[in-house]
């Protein structure tokens, strides 16, 4: 999805759909008032029939409204004007995103960001909207042999402002897009099956991320971990044929002496429970046991795209937890990097072992 910001009046915009907000009781937002005036009161007449619920996130798609250049007008409820919150604004944007995704409009003029959310400026509202709209287009179809080729869905959104916009709003737009891109990376890594998203795959993803952005990456293999004495992590990896990886990411956007934010993400790319085997039902979902790692990688993508003035370190211990002839057994005692011994009573408690 592509985004732009433009100044203009909604009734004159030749887009596939104009999106405007309505408050509870049929109270029109500024954009909706402009559309209503241009249509000689058509919007108010339709709303008086009660087809749009007062709850934030309710929607009503109108076609061929007289006096409006756009062939479609999407009205979105924002709830009571005096009770508009961050959540209700986001709910309204998400509802609009769902309608636009199912529409043949192609492009849309988005006026919801004009809503006066207490404590939030226009830049915040645009950033949130861009993030939600972009995230609504996410699909995980990389491994499908036949991808769905749908002609539906808006591909370009113009955020409409009453006055000329400056660099602040463009930065907000990039911020929203960056967070959506980070979310997409995290979701994709989580959705990939365990035979694709292995510890090695996470390491390759980290290297690619470092190559694309100003991020430093270091990957520790089994030998390096053994030299460092990472016995707790290696004990979990013993039963797997997939080699473990310890991924270290560094983003330096702050001052040299600034203390870093450190993110640690669990990277169990598949968790059978080891010798303490999990029940078979639902075990396929244990590919999600690396979503901590996915979150760290997604966060690094977002902060690098936004060029945040922070120093951030990411630590991702990654392995599979599998049963096997060399797997750690219940009752075994292993030694952690700090030199402390740990008695493993249940091998399905692997998370604390790799994170410590």
With beta carbons less than 8 A apart as the criterion, state whether 136 and 97 touch.
yes
**Which pLDDT band, with edges at 50, 70 and 90, does 162 fall under?**
confident
Is 305 annotated in the active site?
A: no
Report whether pLDDT(137) > 80.
Answer: yes
- Options 3.40.220.10, 1.10.730.10, 3.20.20.70, 3.90.180.10; CATH of 2-137+153-165: 3.40.220.10
- pLDDT of 133 reads 97
- pLDDT of 146 reads 84
Range 194-355: architecture per CATH:
3-Layer(aba) Sandwich (3.40)
Is 147 annotated in the active site?
A: no
- Cβ neighbors of 195 (< 8 A, separation 6 or more) are none
Report whether pLDDT(45) > 80.
Answer: yes
Annotated active-site residue in 37, 174, 187, 278: 278
How high is the mean pLDDT of the chain?
96
Per-residue pLDDT reduced to its tens digit, 285-335: 999 999 999 999 999 999 999 999 999 999 999 999 999 999 999 999 999
Per-residue pLDDT reduced to its tens digit, 17-35: 999 999 999 999 999 999 9
Query: What is the number of residues in the chain?
Result: 356
Report whether pLDDT(149) > 90.
Answer: no
Q: Residues spanned by CATH 3.40.630.10 within the chain?
A: 194-355
**Reported pTM:** 0.93
Per-residue pLDDT reduced to its tens digit, 58-78: 999 999 999 999 999 999 999
């Amino acid at each position: 999805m592509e985004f732009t910001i433009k100044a203009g009046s909604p009734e004159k915009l030749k887009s596939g759909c104009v999106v405007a907000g309505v408050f509870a009781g049929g109270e029109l937002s500024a954009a909706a008032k402009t559309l209503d005036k241009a249509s000689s009161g058509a919007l108010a007449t339709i709303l008086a029939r009660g087809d749009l619920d007062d709850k934030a996130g309710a929607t009503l798609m109108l076609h061929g409204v007289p006096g409006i250049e756009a062939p479609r007008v999407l009205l979105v409820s924002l709830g009571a004007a005096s009770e508009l919150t961050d959540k209700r604004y986001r709910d309204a944007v998400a509802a609009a995103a769902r309608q636009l995704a199912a529409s043949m409009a192609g492009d849309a003029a988005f006026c919801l960001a004009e809503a006066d959310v207490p404590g939030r400026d226009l830049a915040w509202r645009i950033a949130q909207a861009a993030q939600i709209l972009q995230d609504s287009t996410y699909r995980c179809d990389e491994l499908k042999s036949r991808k769905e080729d749908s002609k539906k869905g808006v591909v370009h959104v113009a955020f409409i402002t009453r006055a000329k916009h400056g660099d602040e709003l463009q930065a907000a737009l990039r911020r929203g897009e960056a967070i959506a891109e980070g979310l997409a990376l995290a979701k994709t890594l989580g959705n990939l099956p365990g035979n694709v998203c292995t510890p090695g795959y996470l390491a390759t993803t980290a290297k690619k991320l470092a190559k694309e952005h100003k991020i430093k990456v270091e990957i520790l293999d089994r030998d390096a971990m053994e030299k460092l004495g990472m016995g707790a992590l290696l004990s979990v990896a013993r039963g797997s044929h997939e080699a473990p990886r310890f991924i270290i990411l560094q983003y330096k956007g702050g001052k040299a002496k600034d203390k870093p934010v450190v993110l640690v993400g669990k990277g169990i790319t598949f968790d059978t429970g080891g010798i303490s085997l999990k029940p078979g039902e639902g075990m396929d979902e244990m590919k999600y046991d690396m979503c901590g790692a996915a979150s760290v990688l997604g966060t690094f993508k977002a902060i690098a795209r936004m060029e945040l003035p922070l120093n951030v370190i990411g630590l991702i211990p990654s392995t599979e937890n599998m049963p096997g002839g060399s797997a750690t057994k219940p009752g075994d005692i292993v030694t952690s990097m700090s030199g402390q011994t740990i008695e493993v009573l249940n091998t399905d408690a692997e998370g604390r072992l790799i994170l410590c």
